[in-house]
Structure 1
Amino acid sequence: MPVVPDRSTAGQALRGRKPGRNFTRQQRYSTIERTAVIRAKRAGDAAGRSGTEDYPLSAVPGEARQGFWPITLVLLGFTFFSATMWGGARIGVAFRFWPDLVGIILCGSAILALYVAGLGYIGYKSGFSTVLSARFAFGDAGSRWSDALLGLTQIGWYAWGTATVTIVLIHLLDLDARIQAPLMIVFGLVFCLTAYIGCRGIAVLSWVSVPAMLLLIAASASVALQDAGNGAGLLPPGTAGALTVAEALTIVVGTFVSGGTQVANWTRFSGSARTAAGSVLLAFFFGNGLMIAVGAVGAAVYGLSDIVEVLAVQGLLSAGILMLFLNIWTTQDNTIYNFSVAGCHFFRTEQRRLVTFAGAAAGTLFALLGMYDWLIPYMVLLGVLIPPLGGVIMADFFVRHRGRYPELAKATVPRFNRRGLAAYAAGSIAALAVPGIPPVNGIAAAFLVYACLVRLT
């Protein structure tokens, strides 16, 4: 008797053949359901990886948003930075304490805080990092310029912080200078560990270091005022060379204009507009202004531009070195985190942790090459090149997109947004050539030029 071939779906499956088109309705629905489950699992895995890497190429979802104090402490830890004290020391010995020095600190801090608050609101509203917003402002390929500029400036800060803590420890402990390079390598790797973890790791460190740094500031300021006879013993202005008001304001703004331009990397995790704006104003007006003031008062009292020497004169060096170490670490991890976000956008990768280690290695190399001696020229340069980026991003969001970006996956983004690039060029030229305060000129010119181009074209 001839064998009749089994043409059923089950028979074909048993023989290793793919089923034909003769599915039953139940089988077709089962296949669709299995396919949907597989796709959902893949999407969930991708979302999980994105969440672990802190969403470098997507908006932060609602369930990942946080309250006021977690964001504020991270930003305060960011702005509590020794380099800001060095900048304050530079202007503290060039101006009279009252009203010149106080006015410069308040005015410069207000400029910085208002500028950063605008960008912080954009981060909260959109859930985007700064570099994702730059994709709309400069185009898909054009935004890589902002990635490179913001990333490289953060590498410079990371190098300076790594070199600073190494030199301080060698000076304090009277160590052999030959171990300076190995120590820089160790610190360069250690400082990136909390950034490797992400926002959670940075927040935990900030809960410890911010109160400690406030105690150090209070102690140092108290001793300085006592030594100065409550202000009567301040050294006369011009002790360490003259500065113009514009140069002094550029130093105040330039200390954190690069980090402030990337504040959306943190405020995108904010749960409300009040949280985003309040945390930014507290950190960049009070926190940054306080660091400038402490450095300026210490220099005006003791005539020293080096905060380590000021602490030594006050007898606080031994107690302050641990505080200083924690203070630098909180800024270092924020700095290298910003680099990792910019680097992920530049290479269009979600491997933020890998980019973090690569940035830390590059920053350590710059520290070994002598970044410690380039601080003031570096801050002045940042005050010229970085602010126009923020001016274009704010104009693009508030004028062109009217306060709401389209969904990134559905948006049509050109390779180059010529209006944004032209506005950035105009802002940079204004910062370099127009009399006044370079950072303010750059922000205002970039914003106005972009807004006009949008309206006219």
Structure 2
Amino acid sequence: MMQIEDYPLSRVPPDRRVSFLSVAVVHMGMLTALDQFMLGAVLGNGMSIASALMAILAGSVIFGAITFGLGYAGMKEGLSGSLLARWCGFGRVGSILIGLIVAISLLGWFGVQNAIFARSLNFALGGGPGFALSATLSGLLLTLLVAFGFKALRFTARIAVPLFVGLVALIAWQTLSGQQVPPLLNVADSVTPLTISAAVTLVVGGAIVASLMTPDLTRYSRSTRHVAGTVLLTIIAGEFVINGLAIMISHTLHTADVVTIMSQATGGIGLLLVVFSTLRINDLNLYSSALGVINAVEGLCGKKLRYRSTTLAIGVLGTLLSVLGILDRFVDFLTLLGVVFPPILGIMLVDYFLLRSQRAVLESSRRQGTLPGDAETPTCGWPAIAATLAGSTVGLLCEWGVPTLNALVSACLLYALQKQFQNRVRPAAFTGHQRDP
């Protein structure tokens, strides 16, 4: 059985690779959850269904290309995403910073999911406690359960995820049966209409963290076909099934609020499953965020933080984000993810497949089943970090085109130009990199 916590600082040996379904099922789980349903509800309430599906298609192409490239590199090298970044432009310090960015993004997801939990709880109790108190209680309770290892919670929440998928199918059948096709082309009556370019960025932002986590799973894959199949199934299940159904349901019910959709369609049972689904997702968000912060702090300053105290601190911060209204900024949050992560992933792909600055080192160590030594590992990839910052800035500020593509393309071009200039100014022997002949 695949254990993703194995081999945290080493390659996965060929004899420990697993079957296609073992990897694909876990990978699909990252996009067949409540957050994709929330994204679909936003799209369905902000534009016509035809336009929303076009945005999903365009976003899925971008997500699929990036995810397959990173997934292939993870399979080829047997390395996780954070380790791979060390030899894909960012160096040791840069890869630690990437881990910290992932941890912060998961903290944001914790706040968003906890807010959904709190709204469901407050709605079920008739609005008595109020949102702020509900969010505080639910966030702190889940933080304590994760910090002190409440195994029953994880077992219950694992069951809730497939039940949630079944619930989405049931709501879709109840809501969409008898609907006419022509209204699908109408623009949704929303106070926050979305453009195609903005929607594409939201689609990418809603799934892009999964791209960076893909090598963590595909390092256990046995072939390129397995990686391609895994990515394709995840896109079909997460983007076109869960997301697509949410778009049509939201468009039909004229609301983007998940709690309202669940309560109208299925009543208390739907709200209960939403609560359990958020427990499972936030269990992983809090756990992974805590580990990311611990690893980043240790790598940057050598200080070893304790897991429980770190988890409690992050849980309190995530709860505070819920109370302060991060759910009301859900679109802004996804937009930010959609312009911050694509530059990081694009630079890794450019370095690994085109510039190949560390491929000789990786291939040599792969034949020996080890990692490149400290002397062969760049300390910090400043060109990659600078290109990431510049690309993200372009994505946020440029009003022309698709923000996520603007960020991706500009970062990749700037990184490639910096590397070419660097190699011309000083000999490769002094750059801290080794190039292929």
TM-score, length-normalised on structure 1? Answer: 0.76
Residue of structure 2 in register with 1:310 after alignment: 261
- 2:282 aligned to 332, 350, 355, which one? 332
Are 1:417 and 2:381 counterparts?
Answer: yes
Contact 1:140/1:415 (CA < 8 Å) preserved in 2? yes
Aligned counterparts of 1:190 and 1:80: Cα–Cα separation in 2: 24
Contact 1:89/1:304 (CA < 8 Å) preserved in 2? yes
Aligned counterparts of 1:360 and 1:271: Cα–Cα separation in 2: 37
SS at match of 2:281: helix
Residue of structure 2 in register with 1:5 after alignment: none
Aligned counterparts of 1:208 and 1:193: Cα–Cα separation in 2: 21
The correspondence of residues 185-264 of structure 1 with structure 2, limited to 5 A, is: 185-190=140-145, 208-226=159-177, 229-232=179-182, 236-240=186-190, 241-264=192-215
- 2:273 aligned to 312, 323, 327, which one? 323
- TM-superposed deviation, 1:380: 0.9
| Residue deviations 1:194-241 (CA, integer Å, cap 9, x gap) | 8x99xxx98x778734532331121111122126x2435559414113
Could you tell me which amino acid in structure 2 is paired with residue 308 of structure 1?
A: V
Residue of structure 2 in register with 1:293 after alignment: 244
Could you tell me which amino acid in structure 1 is paired with residue 371 of structure 2?
A: L
Could you tell me which amino acid in structure 2 is paired with residue 82 of structure 1?
A: L
Q: Which moved more, 1:214-223 or 1:78-87?
A: 78-87
Contact 1:78/1:334 (CA < 8 Å) preserved in 2? no
Could you tell me which amino acid in structure 1 is paired with residue 251 of structure 2?
A: A
The correspondence of residues 17-166 of structure 1 with structure 2, limited to 5 A, is: 53-62=5-14, 64-98=16-50, 100-136=51-87, 137-166=89-118
Distance verdict in 2 for CA 1:364–1:96, change over 3 Å: closer
Contact 2:165/2:242 (CA < 8 Å) preserved in 1? no
SS at match of 1:415: coil
TM-score, length-normalised on structure 2? Answer: 0.79
Aligned counterparts of 1:141 and 1:324: Cα–Cα separation in 2: 39
Residue of structure 2 in register with 1:378 after alignment: 333
SS at match of 2:47: coil
| Residue deviations 1:85-107 (CA, integer Å, cap 9, x gap) | 23222221333323x23222222
- TM-superposed deviation, 1:403: 8.8
Aligned counterparts of 2:4 and 2:199: Cα–Cα separation in 1: 41
Residue of structure 1 in register with 2:434 after alignment: none
SS at match of 2:110: helix
Aligned counterparts of 1:139 and 1:292: Cα–Cα separation in 2: 36
Aligned counterparts of 1:432 and 1:52: Cα–Cα separation in 2: 34
Distance verdict in 2 for CA 1:403–1:113, change over 3 Å: farther
Aligned counterparts of 2:128 and 2:72: Cα–Cα separation in 1: 48
Aligned counterparts of 1:177 and 1:116: Cα–Cα separation in 2: 42
Could you tell me which amino acid in structure 1 is paired with residue 74 of structure 2?
A: G
Find runs of 4+ consecutive structure 1 residues off by over 6 angstroms. 204-207, 349-352
Contact 2:290/2:307 (CA < 8 Å) preserved in 1? yes
Distance verdict in 2 for CA 1:127–1:408, change over 3 Å: same
Could you tell me which amino acid in structure 2 is paired with residue 421 of structure 1?
A: I
Q: Which moved more, 1:444-453 or 1:140-149?
A: 444-453
Aligned counterparts of 2:184 and 2:114: Cα–Cα separation in 1: 32
Distance verdict in 2 for CA 1:335–1:55, change over 3 Å: farther
Distance verdict in 2 for CA 1:67–1:301, change over 3 Å: same
Q: Which moved more, 1:184-193 or 1:351-360?
A: 351-360
Aligned counterparts of 1:82 and 1:324: Cα–Cα separation in 2: 8
Contact 1:120/1:263 (CA < 8 Å) preserved in 2? yes
| Residue deviations 1:116-155 (CA, integer Å, cap 9, x gap) | 2222222222222222222232122233332222210111
- TM-superposed deviation, 1:404: 7.4
Distance verdict in 2 for CA 1:389–1:52, change over 3 Å: closer
- TM-superposed deviation, 1:269: 3.2
Aligned counterparts of 1:192 and 1:395: Cα–Cα separation in 2: 39
Structure 2 unpaired stretches of 5+: 424-437
Aligned counterparts of 1:134 and 1:69: Cα–Cα separation in 2: 26
Residue of structure 2 in register with 1:282 after alignment: 233
The total of aligned residue pairs comes to 399
Contact 1:128/1:268 (CA < 8 Å) preserved in 2? yes
The correspondence of residues 423-434 of structure 1 with structure 2, limited to 5 A, is: 423-434=387-398
Q: Percent identity?
A: 27
SS at match of 1:117: helix
Structure 1 unpaired stretches of 5+: 1-50
- TM-superposed deviation, 1:302: 1.3
Aligned counterparts of 1:313 and 1:222: Cα–Cα separation in 2: 14
SS at match of 1:57: coil
Aligned counterparts of 1:233 and 1:393: Cα–Cα separation in 2: 43
The correspondence of residues 10-21 of structure 1 with structure 2, limited to 5 A, is: none
- TM-superposed deviation, 1:325: 3.3
Aligned counterparts of 1:312 and 1:306: Cα–Cα separation in 2: 10
SS at match of 1:93: helix
Residue of structure 2 in register with 1:7 after alignment: none
Could you tell me which amino acid in structure 2 is paired with residue 325 of structure 1?
A: V
Could you tell me which amino acid in structure 2 is paired with residue 324 of structure 1?
A: V
Could you tell me which amino acid in structure 2 is paired with residue 282 of structure 1?
A: L
Contact 1:66/1:269 (CA < 8 Å) preserved in 2? yes
Distance verdict in 2 for CA 1:246–1:402, change over 3 Å: same
Contact 1:162/1:364 (CA < 8 Å) preserved in 2? yes
Q: Which moved more, 1:284-293 or 1:146-155?
A: 284-293
- TM-superposed deviation, 1:255: 1.0
Aligned counterparts of 1:356 and 1:282: Cα–Cα separation in 2: 33
Contact 1:165/1:328 (CA < 8 Å) preserved in 2? yes
| Residue deviations 1:405-429 (CA, integer Å, cap 9, x gap) | 3443525223222332233234224
Distance verdict in 2 for CA 1:77–1:92, change over 3 Å: same
Could you tell me which amino acid in structure 2 is paired with residue 259 of structure 1?
A: A
Aligned counterparts of 1:301 and 1:67: Cα–Cα separation in 2: 40
- 1:408 aligned to 340, 349, 371, which one? 371
